[in-house]
Amino acid sequence: MRNRVAVNSDIPLAVFIIGVKVNKIWAVHKWLKSVLAMKPMVDELYKNKEELGFYHTEYYLSWRGVTLVQYWKSNEAIMDYSKGKKHTEAYKLFYKTAAASNSLGIFHEAYSIEPNHYHSLYVNMPEAGLLKALEKST
């Protein structure tokens, strides 16, 4: 672990935030499959990073939910992935079970960021976030 590290900010970037919140804790049979559907999609992203325009995912747990912060090359890459088989199947499953029962809520946000319009700094931190996603500079 290095003491102070920054990330080069000279490339375009898209940040995608997606999260779920369990609304009905005891309705596990309604929401669990939707929550578990995220792992195969993230696995697919890591296996095909260059082809899909994906960089990295960070996970954040809360009392009744999970939020993922993802780093991508562009919003277009995010939208292209959303039309793929794994995502389409997960989307249909969510609406058929979890959304229909109101047992699970889901949200997502996507932001396009122009080169040199973002920055990051990591002091006494392991690789995380942009540092783990993009080329480092010191």
Q: What is the pLDDT of residues 40-76, one digit of tens each?
A: 999 999 999 999 999 999 999 999 999 999 999 999 9
pLDDT score of 7: 85
For residue 32, what pLDDT band results from cuts at 50, 70 and 90?
very high
What average pLDDT does the segment 93-100 reach? 89
Token pair listed for 19: 């999260």
Distance CA 77, CA 43 (A): 16
For residue 137, what pLDDT band results from cuts at 50, 70 and 90?
very low
Q: Residue 1 pLDDT > 70, yes or no?
A: no
Domain spans in the chain, listed from the N-terminal domain onward = 4-137
pLDDT score of 83: 97
pLDDT score of 109: 97
3-state secondary structure 5-26: EEECCCCCEEEEEEEEEECCCC
4-137 is a CATH 3.30.70.100 domain = yes
In the block, which residue shows the tokens 């995220």?
Answer: 38
Edge-to-edge order in the sheet of strand 4-7? 121-123, 4-7, 136-137
What average pLDDT does the segment 119-133 reach? 89
25 with 103: CB under 8 angstroms?
no
Helix then strand count (H, E) for the chain reads 7, 7
Pairing of strands 13-22, 136-137: unpaired
Q: Is 29 exposed, middle or buried (0-12, 13-18, 19+ CB in 10 A)?
A: exposed
Instruction: Write down the mean pLDDT value for the chain.
Output: 92
Q: Residue 136 pLDDT > 60, yes or no?
A: no
For residue 135, what pLDDT band results from cuts at 50, 70 and 90?
low
